[in-house]
Amino acid sequence: MPKLSKPKIDIKTDKTLKFFIAFATAIVITAMFPRTETIEADYTVGMIWGKEDLIAPFSFPIYKSEPVYQREVQEVRNRISPAFDINEPKQLGKLNWLDSLSSFLTRAKKVLDYQNEINKEKNLPEEKRTTSEQSLNGIKAELNHAFSDSDWNALYNIVYSTSSGNLFDNFRKKLIQTMTQANNKQIINIPKNTIQSGKISFIKNKVEETIDISQVRDTLEVMQMLRNDYESYFRNDELAKIALKISGKFIYSDFTYNKEETDKIIASVTDAVPRTFGIVRENERIVSKHDPINEATKLKLDSYYKIRNEQMGGRDFWVQQGGRFLFVSLMMFLLGIFLFKMRSSVYEDNTKLILLSTIILLQCLFSYISINLEINYPIEYLIFVPVAAMLLTIVFDSRLAVYTIIIICILVSAIRGGDYDIFVPNFAASILVVYSVRDIKHRTQIFISMIYIIGGYIIAILAIGLERYESFSIIKTQLYFAALNSVLSPILAYGLLLFYEKVFRVATDLVFLELSDFNHPLLRELASKAPGSFHHSVVMGNLSEQAAKEIGANQILARVGCYYHDIGKIISPNYFVENQLDSRNKHEQLNPSLSAKMIIAHVKNGIKLAEKYRIPQEVINFIPMHHGTTLVSYFYEKARSEEDPDDTVHDYIYRYPGPKPHTKETGIVMLADSVEAATRAIEDPTPAKLETQIDEIIKSRFLDGELDECDLTLQDLIKIKYSFLKTVVGIHHHRIRYPEQVNEE
C-alpha cells in the first residue's frame, strides 16, 4: 500500500505561524517592561502633582539622591590614606647603593679604556694586537646594564675627545653627589598626585603608621629631579641622558602600593556611608494634590516607590508580568482583528506579519532603552515613533499605519511604566507624518517629513506643558530633543526602508515608481522588440491609473502592472498583431491550436523574464492575472469553424491558465487590456460606440466569473466604466479638419 504523503505546509500562509508570530511578539514586548512597579506619575522637580493626596501606607526611610550619595562616598574615599608595603629587601639594596654605583662606574671606565686600546691598535696587524672586540663584549655583558652601542660610543667620544683627563672622574663625582640628594627622602612607586588624602599608611612592627606625602618622593619625581640636575650641570644632552640612564638603575622604592589592601579599606569605609537621611512615618502625607514638587518631595516619592518595588516578592512579580502579557496580547488581538477584517492581504501573508512585528518591536526597544538609560534628560522624545509611521505608510498604507501607530504609542508608553504623557506628542507627530508620505513620489520626499514631525511635537509639547504649568526650561529641553527626533527620524526611515525592501522583498510605491522608469532594461527591450505591445501597455497604464484613482486602489501599482503585463511578448513579438508591421500574419501558416499555444506562451515567458530581472511578485501577478482564465476566442472560434465532424475542440487548449485577478488593481488591468485593444479597432469611434464597447467588455468579464476573486464591487465597476470612457474618448477624439485638408480630400 503506497504511503500517504503529508500535505506541504505553506509557511507564507500557515495559521500556526501567525499565532506564533503574535505570541512571540507579545512575549518579547512583555519582557521589555520594567521589573518594578508601574510608575503612577511621571514627576520632576517643578511639576504640579496632579493626582490625589499621596499618604504613606507604611513608614520608610528617605534615600539620598544618587549624586549626593556618590559625592559623600567620594569625600570619604579622598580621606583614606592608601596602604603601602615596606620594601625590606630593597631597603637593604638601597643602603648599599653607593657601593653598587661605584662598582658600576669603575667597570664602565674599564670598558671605555679597553675601547680606547682597541682604537689605538686598529691599524696594527692582528697578530700584534693585545685587544679584541670579543673581549670587549664580554666586559660589557658583565655590567648587566641596558646600554646600547650608541650609548657607549657617545660616552666614549665625550670622555676621550676632550683634552681634560678628569672628565670621567667629574662624571663619577656628579652621579654620586646627585644620587645622594635623591636618596635623602623615602620613595614610593605611584604618583603622589593620585593620593587625595595627603598621607600614606603602612604597617611597621605590627603597628599602623602614617606619614605625610611631603616627606616622600615618587619615582617620577626623582627621575625628573635627576634630569633637571644633569642637564643643568653637564650642558651636554648626550651625557645627561647617559647619566640619567645609569642613575635609573639605582633608584629604589621604599614603599610599594598595596592595591588589594587599599580597596578593602575603601570598601569598608564607603559601605558605612548612610544612604538615607530621614524617615517618613506611616499615614504621613507625602505630597498633596496640586502642590509643586520640590527636591525634598521628589526624594520622598523616589524613596516610596523604591520601597514598594523592593517589597514585591517573586509571586507578585509573575502576577504583574501575567497582567502585562494580557495587556500586550490584547493590543496584538486588536491589531489582528483589524488586519483580518480590513487588510486580509496583510493578514494572510506571514512575511508581512513578521515585517509588521519587527517595526513594532523596534519601537518598543527604543522605549526600553530610554527608560534604562540613567540620563537626566527627556530622552523619551528620542523614541522614533515617526519612523514607524513612515515605514508603515510606505510599505502598507496610511489607514493601517494610523491604526498600528495607536497600538505602538500605547505600548511605548506602557513600557515606560505607564508614561502616557509621551503618548500625545508621539501620536500627533506620527499622524502628521503619515500624511506627508501617503502619496510619496520619490525617496527624498521622506526628508520633507521632518517639518511635519517637529510641527506635531511642538504643538503637543506646548499644549501639555502650558496646561500643567511646566517651567519654560523643561519645555525648551523637550523641544530640543523633539527637534533632534525630527532630524534623525527621516534618516532612520530611509535606511530601514532600504533594509526592508532588500530583506523582506517588499514592494513599496517607491519601488513601483522606480519600475515605471522607461529606462528599465525590460521596458527598453519591450519598446525595441515589440513597439506595438509597448504602446499598448503605455495607453493601458493611463486607463488603469485613472480608474484606480476613482475607486481608491493603488494607482501606481496599476500603472506599473500595465507596463510589465505583456513583457513575455519580447520572446516572439511578430506573433502578436500589434507588432506585425507588414501585412503578413504568421498565424496564417499555423493551425489554430498551435497559434493559441504561441499566444498563451507569452504569459509563461513573461513570468520567467520578470523573475530573471527580480521584478516584485506584486507586479509579476499582473502577467497571468490580466488574462485570468479567458479564452483565446479568435483561434477557438477558428478551430470550431474548421472542425472535423468526428473531432471535438477542447476549450482548455485555448484557455489561459490563470489565476483570475485577486486584487482590485489586477482586475482593473484585465478590463483595461480588453478595452484598449477593442476600442482601438473601432472604426470612426464615437462616444456612444466606445461606451457600448466598454459596457460589453465589463459585462462579459463579470458574467464569465473572471472578477469573482478580486474585491471589485458593482459600484467600483460603474466608476471604472466611466473612467475608461472619459480616457478613451480623450484618446480617440476627432481632430478639427483644416481647410487645406478638406481641399486635398
Cα–Cα distance for residue pair 534/537, rounded to 1 Å = 5
How is the chain split into domains, by residue range? 15-36+317-506, 83-257, 516-740
Residues sharing a CB contact under 8 Å with residue 415, sequence separation 6 or more, in sequence order: 29, 32, 33, 34, 364, 367, 368, 371
Query: Helix, strand, coil shares of the chain as percentages rounded to 5?
Result: 65, 5, 30
Q: Which pLDDT value is given to residue 38?
A: 47
Counting residues of the chain whose pLDDT is more than 90, the rounded percentage is: 36
More reliable by pLDDT, 119 or 612: 612
Question: If you average pLDDT over residues 21-26, what whole number do you get?
Answer: 95
pLDDT over threshold 50, residue 1? no
pLDDT at 28: 96
Same fold, 15-36+317-506 and 516-740: no
Q: Is the dihedral of CA 172, 174, 175, 179 positive or negative?
A: positive
C-alpha cell at 190: 605611584
d(CA 577, CA 582): 10
Q: What is the pLDDT of residue 483?
A: 94
- Look at 28-37, 374-383, 624-633, 718-727 and tell me which has the smallest mean pLDDT: 28-37
* DSSP string computed for 596-632: HHHHHHHHHHHHHHHHHTT--HHHHTHHHHTTTT-B-
pLDDT reported for residue 123: 65
Q: Bridge partners of 86?
A: 255
For residue range 672-704, list pLDDT tens digits in order. 999 998 888 888 888 898 999 999 999 999 999
Q: Distance between CA atoms of 38 and 646, rounded to whole angstroms?
A: 84
Q: How confident is the model at residue 739 (pLDDT cuts 50, 70, 90)?
A: low
Is pLDDT above 60 for 731? Answer: yes
| Bridge partner list, 210 | 201
Q: Kindly state the DSSP code that residue 715 receives in the 8-state scheme.
A: H
Name the 3-class secondary structure at 202.
strand
Closest CA to 392 of 459, 449, 461: 449
> For the ranges 252-261, 518-527, 700-709, 722-731, which has the lowest average pLDDT?
252-261
Cα–Cα dist 187/87, whole Å: 10
The grid coordinates of residue 149 equal 652601542
Residue-wise pLDDT for 452-488, tens only, equals: 999 999 999 999 888 877 788 888 999 999 999 999 9
CA distance 66 to 74: 12
Angstrom CA distances, 293 to 47, 56, 289, 515, 525, stand at 6, 16, 10, 59, 72
Write down the pLDDT at residue 675. Answer: 93
Amino acid in position 673: D
Phi then psi for residue 613, to 5 deg, are: -95, 10
61: Cβ–Cβ under 8 A, 6 or more apart, which residues? 276, 278, 279, 280, 303
Ramachandran angles phi, psi of 655, nearest 5°: -110, 140
C-beta separation of 378 from 478 below 8 A: yes
pLDDT at 95: 56
* Confidence (pLDDT) at 443: 80
Closest CA to 371 of 382, 362, 360, 358: 382
Give the chain's end-to-end CA distance (angstroms, integer).
Answer: 83
Which CATH architecture is the domain 15-36+317-506 placed in? Orthogonal Bundle (1.10)
Q: How far is CA 402 from CA 206, 392, 399, 419, 500, in A?
A: 77, 9, 5, 21, 20
Return the CATH number of the domain spanning residue range 516-740.
1.10.3210
Average of per-residue pLDDT across 633-638: 78
Per residue, the 3-state secondary structure of 549-582, as one string, reads HHHCCCHHHHHHHHHHCCHHHHCCHHHCHHHCCC
Gap between the Cα atoms of 7 and 9, Å rounded: 6
Contact 520, 649 (CB under 8 A): no
Output the nine-digit C-alpha cell for 704.
464569465
Question: 30: part of which helix (H) or strand (E)?
Answer: helix 15-31
Give, as one character, the DSSP assignment of residue 290: T
**Which amino acid appears at position 29 of this protein?**
I
Query: Is residue 509 within 8 Å of residue 394, measured between CB atoms?
Result: yes
Contact 389, 430 (CB under 8 A): yes
* Of 186, 221, 196, 194, residue with least CA distance to 85: 186
Cis peptide before 661 (omega within 30 of 0): no
pLDDT category at 314 given cuts 50, 70, 90 is low
Q: Is the dihedral of CA 659, 660, 663, 667 positive or negative?
A: positive
Q: Band of the pLDDT at 278, cuts 50, 70, 90? A: confident
Whether pLDDT at 575 is above 60: yes
Between CA 73 and CA 62 the distance in angstroms is 17
Contacts of 310 (CB under 8 A, 6+ apart): none
d(CA 677, CA 655): 18
Burial class (CB in 10 A: 0-12, 13-18, 19+), 247: buried
Give me the amino acid identity at 738.
Y
CA–CA separation, 96 and 432 (whole Å): 84
